[in-house]
A and B are shown apart, each in its own frame.
Chain A
Amino acid sequence: MSSMNRREFLQMLAAASVAGAALDARPLLAAGNADALYDVPKFGNVHFMHFTDCHAQLLPIWFREPNVNLGIAGAFGKAPHLVGEHLLKAFNIKPGTREAHAFTYLDFAQAARTYGKVGGFAHLATLVKRMRGGRPGALLLDGGDTWQGSATALWSKGQDMVDACKLLGVDMMSSHWEYTLGDKRVQEIVEKDLKGKIEFLAQNVKTTDFGDPVFAPYAMREMNGVQVAVIGQAFPYTPIANPRWMMPDWTFGVQDENMQKMVDEVRAKGAKVVVVLSHNGMDVDLKMATRVTGIDAILGGHTHDGVPRPITVKNAGGQTLVTNAGSNGKFLAVLDFDVRGGKVQDFRYKLLPVFSNLLPADVEMAAYIDKVRAPHLDKLNEKLAVSEGLLYRRGNFNGSWDQLILDAIMEVRDAEIGLSPGFRWGTTILPGQAITFEHLMDQTAITYPASTLNEISGETLKGILEDISDNLFNPDPYYQQGGDMVRVGGLQYTCTPHAKMGNRISDLRLKGKPLEASKKYRVAGWAAVSEGTTGEPVWDVVARYLRDKKTITPRKLNVPKLVGMQGNPGFAGV
């Protein structure tokens, strides 16, 4: 039964109705169901809680799910490549509900006002405590992308998040963007801060010289009389998707064979439940689950897919559950196993949206967050401009936030073309909301932020677009690397996702005129992965543009013409 008493419930109801008073009756109805939302009865005897890709968001935020997440070849029409109504239908979620809002982009701005912000470590902490209360011994797993994504994480070199995770009670973690703090900083945190508190696990990070493991590959615990093992999987393509010079002595990769070896090793040591805490991305996890046997569940992240239920993958050794738990602190997953007779008999899984209006802030965590933010408040809260339209990033092609960044860097740098990376993180701004410096940092806070201006030939530009589209649309997930498609400003093109590598990009045009292969164009960009790139940090360039404009009109998205994607359940228009 719920741990929330009658008084808390009434307070919550009052808060919810105030928040939505001017809108409609939905919050009242929804609040009435709040207790049911978080009343997850304990099942079985082995319990995991999982969040991933929080991207250093300590406070509640908005995060709009994508309306374009194309599934190509074997991924066509399957989770996680389902958007909007297709996703609701596949997972039996009623449209127009709180859950529908959490898992889709539908009616986003209106629903966001109705249901309030999501995530925030203080609210997450309350939910974690509540789940833990009924689940003795439960492990809290963090899938990584935790130490990057906000101004305060960047300025404190990840320290604010490291301490927040210790306070939250994280037991084990995986990794990706963590490495962009540099190998030395990662090792310093692992050795000094995490030692004896949080296990930093990665079976697939080795030294480039002799292939020695850099981190512990797995950790084992006894939980309610059952031996359980958690194996860590870092993002396999970190040195390709991010600057390799930041971790030059380490090599990554999927490393299926070593994963199998680790699974066999923990099984031999008596593990009855084996879970992989993965930062592969869901498509890679789904493939890995067909090739490696003996894993009960792969708790996944990286691709930021809020997938309501696990996907069961059959393999030679039985079956493996594959999950993906969204991003930005928006969700907490709870996985319960019933383990009897030395094996998993059954399971229950819930991906709980963290609605900050329904979960009172944990006092200790709220105080901690206030403390780390206090020295920076003036800078964080600077209002740069007001946005008339919805600003979001997530999706296979340009989001409106990316479009704003492109418009800004092209205008400030006087460039005819702009390129902006296809990151999946970055919070959402509602129409009419002020854009603060903190919001801008939510989109840009990386350790290689230099803005650039280059002369690039038409031929090279096509090559870049071909290369990156293959990283997204290669039919084999093991050849997919990194994030969404690079965001393109100024340049129009046609994209045929299921064409072969080198043939997906066509009809490149600049202001209606075909791009010339040998002609050089002025291209503004940022986040170059090559060492020694210099330039003004992109946030300063964009901040200048925003201060100057004051009001940001709704953006016109420069998205490619897509061929062959009509009817794809991962496509709901762009």
Chain B
Amino acid sequence: MLSALIAAGVLKPTAAYAAEWNKAAFEAHDTAGALKGIGAGAPADSKDLILKVPDIAENGAVVPVDVISNIPNTTSISILVEKNPSPLSASFDFANGALPEVSARLKMGQTSLVKAVAKADGKFYTAQKEVKVTVGGCGG
């Protein structure tokens, strides 16, 4: 499956725990369905949610994604790849004031928007950026 999370990355905060498996969200075939699955209908854009992804993927099979939330009381971070067959790629819960920062490697089959969604005080926030996946070659 293209949507499979290749590696969960290194969870920097020791107090972070993986979420319980949210089948409906992970198996949704579009972004709206995945957002609904994690309980986020229409998350608000936030500058305090930092999404770090490359402009162009060096290797679509392992695209590095870092998400840091500076939103107080962040309790979860999810990562979605819009054009993947199952957009929801990863979801992390943070308990007991764990630092909401995650790092993962995702597989992307084609150029797509990558979205981070954070939950804080019951509200959802988002940041997004396009990551290009290209055939390459023709190098200048």
A interface, CB within 8 angstroms of B = 145, 176-177, 235, 237-242, 244, 251-254, 281, 302-303, 421-424, 463-464, 467-468, 470-471, 474, 476, 478-479, 481-484, 486, 501, 527-529
Contacts and interface: CB of A to CB of B under 8 A. Distances in A.
Which 3 interchain pairs have the tightest Cβ spacing?
A: A241-B139, A483-B140, A478-B55
Interface string B42-79: 00000000000011111100001000000000000000
Contacts of B135: 463-464, 467-468
A239 B137 contact: no
Nearest to A256: B55
Contacts of B111: 501
Given A474-B132, A483-B138, 17 more contacts: A176-B139, A237-B56, A240-B139, A241-B137, A242-B139, A252-B58, A254-B55, A423-B140, A464-B135, A468-B134, A468-B137, A471-B134, A476-B55, A478-B55, A482-B137, A484-B138, A527-B137
Contacts of B138: 241, 421-423, 468, 471, 482-484, 486, 527
B136 interface: yes
Interface residues of B, number: 17
Contact of B140 (A176, A252, A501, A528): A176
B93 interface: no
Interface in B108-140: 111, 130, 132, 134-140
Contacts of A423: 138-140
A241 B136 contact: yes
A281 B58 contact: no
A479 B137 CA distance: 14
Contacts of A421: 137-139
A287 to B, nearest CB: 10
B55 A479 contact: yes
A479 B139 contact: no
Nearest to A474: B132
A501 B113 CA distance: 13
A238 B134 contact: no
B140 A479 contact: no
Contact of B136 (A240, A251, A474): A240
A177 B139 CA distance: 9
Contact of A251 (B58, B130, B132, B134): B58
Name which of B56, B132, B134, B139 has the most chain A CB atoms within 10 A of its CB.
B139
B55 A238 contact: no
Nearest to A237: B56
A281 B140 contact: yes
19 contacts: A235-B139, A237-B139, A240-B58, A240-B134, A244-B59, A252-B58, A303-B140, A423-B138, A468-B135, A468-B137, A471-B138, A478-B55, A478-B56, A481-B56, A481-B136, A484-B138, A486-B137, A528-B137, A529-B139
Nearest to A250: B58
A145 B132 CA distance: 25
A418 to B, nearest CB: 14
Given A479-B130, A479-B132, A501-B111, A529 B58 contact: no
For B58, B132, B140, the residue with the greatest tally of chain A CB atoms inside 10 Å of its CB is B140
A479 B56 CA distance: 6
A290 to B, nearest CB: 15
Contacts of B57: 240
A253 B55 contact: yes
B41 to A, nearest CB: 28
A481 B134 contact: yes
Contacts of A241: 136-140
Contacts of B136: 240-241, 244, 481-482, 529
Contacts of A476: 55
Contacts of B130: 479
A239 B136 CA distance: 8
A476 B130 CA distance: 11
Given A240-B134, A467-B134, A482 B139 contact: yes
A239 B58 contact: yes
A271 B17 CA distance: 45
B132 A424 contact: no
A528 B130 CA distance: 26
Contacts of A303: 140
Nearest to B57: A240
Contacts of B134: 240, 467-468, 470-471, 481
A477 B140 CA distance: 14
A529 B140 contact: no
A304 B68 CA distance: 38
Contacts of A239: 58-59
Nearest to A425: B140
A555 to B, nearest CB: 20
